[in-house]
Amino acid sequence: MRKGLTVFGLAFFSFGGLVLAYLQLVSSDEEHMRQMLRVTAWLALLVYLVIFSTRPLRQLTGSPLSRQLLRNRRYFGITLAAMMTVHLILLLLVNEQALNIPGAAIFTLMYLMLLTSFDSAPARIGPRNWRILHKIGLYGLGLAYAGTIGRALLKTPFDPVYLALAFLILAAVAIRIAAYSKTR
């Protein structure tokens, strides 16, 4: 529990601190806040893809790196929640409109996952409920990222950032499918 909270605090304050420093140095007008909204989401997506691919990579390769990643997957999840908390704070500052319902549902799922990422949670809510919650959350977040990047790519099809992110999302899905076929 304590290690999880420390990881959350470190990730939140270092990531949030960098965003704040950038906004102070450059400008904290709406344009730059939106820029930071995009950057926070892009970086969080990279962390998400590590989480999404860790178990299948372990099943496919069995490498020491994949074992190490799997062992620390929970801390990647906690880091992702900290990064998306910075996204949430920025969007509350920039967006006049309230949270939309799908967005609010994804954030709720993410915080439920965070709260149940500490040691005693599976025992308290039951291992089956824990697995269901984390599976729904994992795929829910993935759909939200893929949907947002897909929409951005439709608007600007040759943007290198969107092309790279879309490629990484497709690669992660391919790794999952390959691992699934191998274990069936």
Per CB under 6 A, residues contacting ligand HEM are 34, 37-38, 41, 45, 87, 91, 95, 99-100, 103-104, 106-107, 141, 144-145, 148-149, 152
CB of residue 103 vs ligand HEM: minimum separation in angstroms? 2
Are the beta carbons of 169 and 146 closer than 8 angstroms? yes
Nearest CB to ligand HEM, comparing residues 7 and 106:
106
* Shortest separation between residue 141's beta carbon and ligand HEM, angstroms: 5
CA separation for the pair 136, 118 (Å, rounded): 18
The C-alpha R_g of the chain, in whole angstroms, comes to: 17
Find the shortest distance in angstroms from Cβ 11 to ligand HEM.
Answer: 16
Query: Is residue 152 within 8 Å of 117, Cβ to Cβ?
Result: no
Nearer of residues 5 and 92 to ligand HEM, judged by Cβ: 92
- CA 4 remoteness from chain centre: 16
7 or 41: CB nearest ligand HEM: 41
Rounded to a whole number of angstroms, the minimum distance from the CB of residue 112 to ligand HEM is 13
To ligand HEM, the closest distance from the beta carbon of 164 in angstroms equals 12
Q: Which is nearer to ligand HEM, 8 or 48 (CB)?
A: 48
Q: Which is nearer to ligand HEM, 59 or 116 (CB)?
A: 116
Determine contact, residues 117/4, Cβ cutoff 8 Å: yes
